[in-house]
Chains A and B, each alone.
Chain A
Amino acid sequence: DAGITQSPRHKVTETGTPVTLRCHQTENHRYMYWYRQDPGHGLRLIHYSYGVKDTDKGEVSDGYSVSRSKTEDFLLTLESATSSQTSVYFCAISADRVVHEQFFGPGTRLTVL
């Protein structure tokens, strides 16, 4: 299995609080992604990174920001969490830009009350 970890694995927080999710990889892959998965919607891309300090928005980026200061770490921040951001968040990595395969982390279950 690809070396991807996510922390925390579970989090409950209150509306309006900031939340940061961490993705850490040991594969030295250039590309990293954050998705959210919700019933009825499937996986949706939030943000992605194509290198250190290089990031771009996905299809559901509103309310989220990301940072990548090192190859191995990709952080997702909810500046002021809302109940609509209750979801399962998956980080993924890939080795090349053509994206033949993405490897996913175990996911973070976030509940915003």
Chain B
Amino acid sequence: RKEVEQDPGPFNVPEGATVAFNCTYSNSASQSFFWYRQDCRKEPKLLMSVYSSGNEDGRFTAQLNRASQYISLLIRDSKLSDSATYLCVVNRRGGGSNYKLTFGKGTLLTVNP
């Protein structure tokens, strides 16, 4: 089982739609969780961290289920500018005192007018 797995996508949705991305992780020792956004031919940028109690930032809601080792991202009222690849990212302790970020392969979202 891959360390971080995401919906393969791609997702094509109309403007105003609600879209949900799912992600699972295999290492129960994982400590922190993130969603990054990557525009075409650009660098990844942090979209939001994911907290155990769930968290919301405007139209974006992130949820974490540690028991099921599952992370989700919900985007409401999709905008054209939301078109991007969304990366699920998991952080866990690696060797020694270092930590390791593992990136999912990403899910491509296209929002259509």
Collect the chain B residues with CB atoms within 8 Å of residue A50's CB: 98
User: Is B32 in contact with A100, judged by CB distance below 8 angstroms?
Assistant: yes
Contact A42 B104 (CB under 8 A): yes
Given the complex, which residues of A lie within 8 Å of B45, measured CB to CB? 104
Nearest B residue to A102 by beta-carbon distance?
Answer: B101
Q: Are B44 and A43 within 8 A (Cβ)? A: yes
Q: What is the size, in residues, of chain A's interface with B at 8 Å between Cβ atoms?
A: 20
Contacts of B101 in A (CB 8 A): 45, 99, 102
Q: Chain A's interface: helix, strand, loop or mixed, by majority? A: loop
In contact, A45 and B99 (Cβ under 8 angstroms): no
Residues of A within 8 A of B (CB): 40-45, 48, 50, 56, 90, 97-102, 104-107
B43 near A107 with CB under 8 A, answer yes
Is the CB–CB distance between B43 and A98 below 8 Å?
no
> What's the count of A-B pairs with C-beta under 8 Å?
47
Q: Which residues of A have CB within 8 Å of B44?
A: 43, 90, 104
Measured CA separation A90–B44 after assembly (Å): 9
Kindly list chain A residues whose C-beta atoms are within 8 Å of the C-beta of B106. Answer: 42
**Complex partner residue of B98 from A56, A101, A105, CB under 8 angstroms:** A56
- 15 new A-B pairs (CB below 8 Å) besides A97-B98, A98-B99? A42-B104, A42-B105, A44-B103, A48-B98, A50-B98, A56-B95, A98-B31, A99-B91, A100-B32, A100-B91, A101-B34, A101-B49, A104-B45, A105-B43, A107-B43
